[in-house]
Amino acid sequence: MNRPRVQRVVVAGGGTAGWVAAAALVKQLGPLLDITLVESDEIGTVGVGESTIPTSRSFHQLLGIDEAAVMRATQATFKLAISFENWRQEGDRYFHAFGENGRRSTWMADFHHFWLEARAQGFGGDLADYCFELQAASERRFTNGEDAPINYAYHLDATRYARFLRTLSEPAGVRRVEGKIAQVEQDGESGFVTALVLESGERIEGDLFVDCTGFRGLLIEQTLKTGYEDWTHWLATDTAIAVQTRATEPAVPYTRAIAHQAGWRWKIPLQHRVGNGIVYASAHLSDDAARAQLLGAVEGDVLTEPRLIRYRTGRRRKAWNKNVVSLGLASGFIEPLESTSIHFVKIAVMRLIQAFPFAGISDAQVDRFNAMSVQEVERVRDFIILHYHLTEREDSAFWRQCRDMTIPDTLAERMALFAESGQAYQAGDELFRVDSWVQVLMGQGMAPQRHHELARLMPKEQLRGALDSLKADIAGRVAKMPAHAQFVDRYCGAGEG
């Protein structure tokens, strides 16, 4: 089959998704492509994606981005964990941290089985005692691995982040065109998008189009009618309100996710301000009540007008349709509970680069891209649902609905496996590791009925000594770390502004 070569790439939309895509494409494939990004300063972006996961570090390393420079430019702080408050029940708290539980060994069972055996014998303390990153987060301390390996991510200003990536992309060869898209032209036979026509009349032709137009999905949905798989029956929240406040205390190295009667609210500390928001199900909480609840809970001077964001959890039926690849909100949305939105953009664009269709777009390439996208997003979906479903809260109709709902079979099977035997797993290419599943499952209150009996082979005093040594080692390393805010000031302080 004769397929036209792909050389001209047009990114429709800016914001974080658009400039992540442009920066990655020009850095990795720049000399081989003609890359144009179309955006309008008049069209706002959601711009509240202030929390990331550790994959952002790998992305920056791949693009050769200096960590201190990007953190300074985005007024970023470090992130070691998420503090989940009131999720199991009101007044309860646990951390989901980025680190490992315990220490890897040659044993054929994960660390938590040995910890469970210790608990069965009357010692062992809390599982949290054996995660370095969790203890550092709890003590509000940080170092970026100068003295000991540590797994971390960032809190950053998403608008400044897009601006920073633009300053890297344009000198490298990305052509930015200012303007609103008025029309999308398609080939009459294939249905492929051929050009974007701006309000000015300018035509931007391309071979491959990257849709970063947000929830509206101008190319992937409005033009190609791809379709959407709705997940609101599992993830009932559909609205968020975001607001920024002046910082009133030193930044901590974790995000706070504080559950309320109809959802949760976030608190994300940057260097000179705090990102706040409330996520809720509009069927259970009115907009006015949610706004009042958010503003009544925030600390510090309010710096911005509260912004209302409507969304629908789910995914496009195809992330890649014809010659359009959707990224970010255009491809779908899982609420920001585990800070995966920016990750999905980065992993998708890297997947596109790895299989870039220079010789022409083929069904096999598209099918493989879409299959990988579905697999990844559904596994993350299950992880998010877990937080809502595994709860002991009965104080509102919202939480009773979450507790009693029928969940995906894939999640039900995971939960049953852990409940029966303490077994947790990370499938190939899955984002969240065994450590994450265990921390959330146990943090939400699931105690396994059994654990791997291999742990019984370790003599009691040897097991006790190993756990005591590990706990002491972690406590000693954490005690030597500087306060998080102190480290940030020294390493990447942005100054006032």
17 is in an annotated binding site: yes
d(CA 89, CA 78): 28
Judged by DSSP in three states, 12 sits in strand
14 among the known binding-site residues?
yes
Annotated catalytic, 346? Answer: no
Write out the two tokens for 416: 């049953």
Q: 411 a known binding residue?
A: no
Give the chain's radius of gyration (CA, Å): 23
d(CA 430, CA 437): 12
Is 74 annotated in some ligand binding site? no
Residue 302 token pair: 């309010």
Distance, in Å, from the CA atom of 399 to the CA atom of 262, rounded to the nearest integer, reads 7
Encoded amino acid at 144, one letter: N
Q: Compute CA distances 86 → 91, 134, 243, 264, whole Å.
A: 5, 18, 22, 9
Q: 329 among the known binding-site residues?
A: yes
Out of 79, 267, 318, 346, the active site residue is 79
Query: Strand pairing of 239-246 and 273-280?
Result: antiparallel
Beta bridge partners of 257: 84, 266
Establish whether 16 is an annotated binding residue. yes
Sequential DSSP letters for 318-361: -SEETTEEE-GGGTEE--GGG--HHHHHHHHHHHHHHT--TT--
Q: Is 322 assigned a ligand-binding role in the annotation?
A: no
Q: Which of 141, 149, 147, 114 is nearest to 130 (CA)?
A: 114
100 annotated to bind ligand: no
Q: Please give the Cα distance from 379 to 374 (Å, whole number).
A: 9
Q: Which residues are annotated as a binding site for 7-chloro-L-tryptophan?
A: 79
Q: Which residues are annotated as a binding site?
A: 14-17, 79, 329, 338, 342
Q: Which residues are annotated as a binding site for FAD?
A: 14-17, 329, 342
Which residues are catalytically annotated? 79
